[in-house]
Amino acid sequence: MAKTFDLLLINGTVVNHDGEGRRDIGVAAGRIAEIGDLSGASAGETIDCAGLHVLPGVIDTQVHFREPGPTHKEDLESGSRAAVLGGVVAVFEMPNTNPLTTTPAALEGKLARAYRRMFCDHAFYVGATHQNPKDLGELERMKGVCGVKIFMGASTGDLLVEDDAGVLDVLRHGRRRVAVHSEDEFMLRENRKFARDGDWTSHTEVRTAEAAVSSTKRLLRLAREAGRRIHVLHVSTAEEIPLLVAAKDIATAEATPQHLTLAAPDCYRALKGLAQMNPPIRDARHRDGLWEGMRLGVFDVIGSDHAPHTREEKAKPYPASPSGMPGVQTLVPVMLNHVAEGRLSLARFVDLVCHGPNRIFGIAGKGRLAAGYDADFTVVDLKRRETISNAQQATRVGWTPFDGMAVRGWPVMTIIRGRMVMREGEILGPATGEPVRFQETV
């Protein structure tokens, strides 16, 4: 008797735990039911993926969608549109909103705002403050929470835990992995005097490599003292790589496409405020150091750190210009271009944006292309050549630092829990994103 599925993906090159090979995928009730030769099967819908690569659904573990708060820059709806257009099936959204995501009511409010408005699946970070460490154990176990976030250096918003005693207090409450923006706030304050009006190249003199390295040294020491797993976000310096190599038992690490692709001072001369983010894009020596860390396997995930501001805001003369840039829609094509140019393998890319998020955050049912997991797929054309442009961007601010960049490799379909959400640059149907589930709280 012929097997019957809700959905069949046939003739594609599947990239999963078995490697890369021609396989079919059968989907039933929103989950992967079978992988292999399904030529004799039937389905309610069949998608021919000949010439395409079928990846596990890409997960972006660091985005700032600005809602509630300055939604003229972005909101959960527009940010999730950008995500699925970029091949992303799920996002982890940051807590530096207004109000801050530091209470049960704020978390429940975000989940309510996301309901039937977000096109991708989603989870939210809890923000750590000096006031809420004793509540973090309860907060981190709420529905739709991916973990706790500490800002050791001030960035956009009002979240900041800059001192060792405060960081240690946070790390001693709760059990799940804590994500950290690692820059030394005391050094950043001292360095403000080095900001030159209208000169974005001075951003690296204000937010120095030394500030990042100092903070990460402190963070690793405190994490060991507390016995707590940590995740170091948007690593930006070559000197942090050996520190992380020595701390793989307690620390995972993230790189961003921006830090792996752009380099100072050229990016500031070409893009001015559009290249400004925290921690900064640094010179080619640091970029090369990050790629060496990638080669060594130090990085566990790639996150976009999607953090949009309007062009008008970005046009303010430095240091009045805000830090942050869009990235959720360009993560996949920018990194696939690095694959095409031989900087990393396709298998390594999948590990960084699928298996890595699953592994370090303990995601339930996502991040692997395997039987029993959610039927999440990012289908890509590795031969397709496109030019990234501002006009393509669904983010509310309508620009990207990669405008004009020619790439090889492009997301052509985004399938979430067995439902086609994006095909060939078109979003299909209403928003049906759901909260991501986690093994520690399922």
pLDDT surpasses 80 at 435: yes
**Local confidence band at 181 (pLDDT 50, 70, 90 cut-offs):** very high
Average pLDDT estimate for 242-250: 98
- Given a contact cutoff of 8 angstroms between Cβ atoms, the answer to whether 172 and 136 are in contact is no
Domain segments of the chain as ranges: 4-54+372-389+405-427, 58-361
Tokens read off for 335: 């990194």
Q: What is the value of pTM for the model shown?
A: 0.98
Average pLDDT estimate for 150-164: 87
**What's the start-to-end Cα distance of the chain, in Å?**
36
- Out of 305, 374, 376, 381, pick the active-site residue: 305
Classified by CATH at the fold level, domain 58-361 comes out as: TIM Barrel (3.20.20)
pLDDT tens digit sequence for 248-294: 999 999 999 999 999 999 999 999 999 999 999 999 999 999 999 99
The 3-state secondary structure of 241-266 reads HHHHHCCCCCEEEEECHHHHHCCECH
Going by C-alpha positions, the residue among 167, 161, 159, 169 that lies closest to residue 99 is 159
pLDDT at 154: 81
Q: Taking phi first (over 0 means left), then psi (-120 to 50 degrees means alpha), and beta for anything else, what does residue 302 get? A: beta
User: For the CA atoms of the chain, what is the radius of gyration?
Assistant: 21
**Local confidence band at 45 (pLDDT 50, 70, 90 cut-offs):** very high
pLDDT at 37: 97
pLDDT surpasses 70 at 1: no
60 as an active site residue: the answer is no
pLDDT surpasses 80 at 342: yes
- The CATH architecture one would assign to domain 4-54+372-389+405-427 is Roll (2.30)
